[in-house]
Amino acid sequence: MEVFLGIDVGSVSTNLVIIDKKINVLESLYLRTKGQPIKVLQEGLQLLKEKLNSTMKIVGVGTTGSGRVLSGAIVGADVVKNEITAHAVAASTLVPDVRTIIEIGGQDSKIIILRNGIVSDFAMNTVCAAGTGSFLDQQAERLNIDISEFGTLALKAKNPVRIAGRCTVFAESDMIHKQQTGHNTEDIIAGLCEALVRNYLNNVGKGKEILPPVIFQGGVAANAGIKQAFEKQLGIEVQIPTHFGVMGAIGVGILAKNNYQATGRTQFKGFEISTADFTAGSFECDGCSNLCEIINIYQDGKIIARWGGRCGKWDQGIQ
């Protein structure tokens, strides 16, 4: 049975999925990156190896996320694509008429506008994390509440309080003030959810034509309070796909499937790489005034990939 592997390595999570030719998700893993993308990727591959049926053969691999180039070099990816492309492919494949994709992860968020199945516009957050999952994580810690309970508590709110959501520092100060004035926890949590949504719409979604169907994906889509806040702000239904947390990995898995159908071959190195010794190093190129930092990736002491230059000098292979 021929199957395809999609890998999404982000700053907060590393996601791996196995799909078949009909784009059924056979296996999926959601792991915390913990600042160690190589180690966590290897752990994920080892877990997948143990889960896979012996009759399954991986014939295509794709990588995406902020660590897509690194993970692509390690696994031998056939396709390396950015997150916008990966999320758009997954959403438009699973929900063919989708016109707006809201994606919020741990430390980044994005909006993708599709018209007739094609990406026509998109935007991502820049330096502020107030519209991302880390914002909620910080406030949950402050309230001494498990983040998994956030959505359920938000839905119980009777009178959500208004909390400044432009900045995490101001939001925390405002939240503390609301606690001190006697507002209950449910109303405060609902207020935090609405603050995150306002921040997202005022920054990432600013100037975008948000039309239904609207799909909400990324790890924060697990929070029912955020879904409710989006529907309240937009006045339209927001759909959450079954595999909302790993849509990027699904999208690049679909692209790997398409690549295999076109070429009939794969560069996947096999599950043996889960036990190989990978390290990263760098040096400064002094070939011009740019002084580019060139990244080296080593497998068992041998350089297998190198990138980072602006001019392409080091992109032609290992020199």
- Indicate whether 19 and 147 sit together in one domain: no
Beta carbons of 123 and 204 less than 8 angstroms apart: yes
Q: Of the candidates 124, 294, 256, which has an alpha carbon nearest to the alpha carbon of residue 200?
A: 124
Q: How many domains in the chain?
A: 2
pLDDT category at 130 given cuts 50, 70, 90 is low
- Indicate whether 25 and 157 sit together in one domain: no
Q: Of the candidates 257, 261, 238, which has an alpha carbon nearest to the alpha carbon of residue 249?
A: 257
- Indicate whether 31 and 118 sit together in one domain: no
**Helix, strand, coil % in the chain, rounded to nearest 5:** 40, 25, 35
| Structural domain includes residue 37 | yes
Q: What is the mean pLDDT of residues 190-219?
A: 90
* 33-49 confidence digits (pLDDT tens): 888 899 999 999 999 99
| Structural domain includes residue 308 | no
Asked if omega into 241 is within 30° of 0 (cis), the reply is: no
The per-residue pLDDT of the chain, averaged, comes to 88
| Structural domain includes residue 299 | no
For CA atoms 171, 177, 181, 185, give the dihedral sign. positive
| Structural domain includes residue 305 | no
Domain closes at, from 213, 240, 267? 240
Domain of residue 256, residue span: 2-89+248-275
CATH number of the domain residue 268 falls in: 3.30.420.40
- Indicate whether 271 and 207 sit together in one domain: no
pLDDT score of 11: 80
- Indicate whether 31 and 125 sit together in one domain: no
- Indicate whether 207 and 259 sit together in one domain: no
- Indicate whether 162 and 260 sit together in one domain: no
pLDDT score of 53: 84
Q: What is the mean pLDDT of residues 181-185?
A: 83
Does the structure show a pLDDT above 90 at 22?
yes
- Indicate whether 121 and 162 sit together in one domain: yes
- Indicate whether 206 and 143 sit together in one domain: yes
> Which class for 130: exposed (0-12), middle (13-18), buried (19 or more C-beta within 10 A)?
buried
Beta carbons of 60 and 44 less than 8 angstroms apart: no
Element at 239 (helix H, strand E): strand 238-239
pLDDT score of 271: 93
pLDDT score of 127: 59
* Contact residues for 39 (Cβ-Cβ < 8 A; gap 6+): none
* 88-103 confidence digits (pLDDT tens): 999 999 998 999 999 9
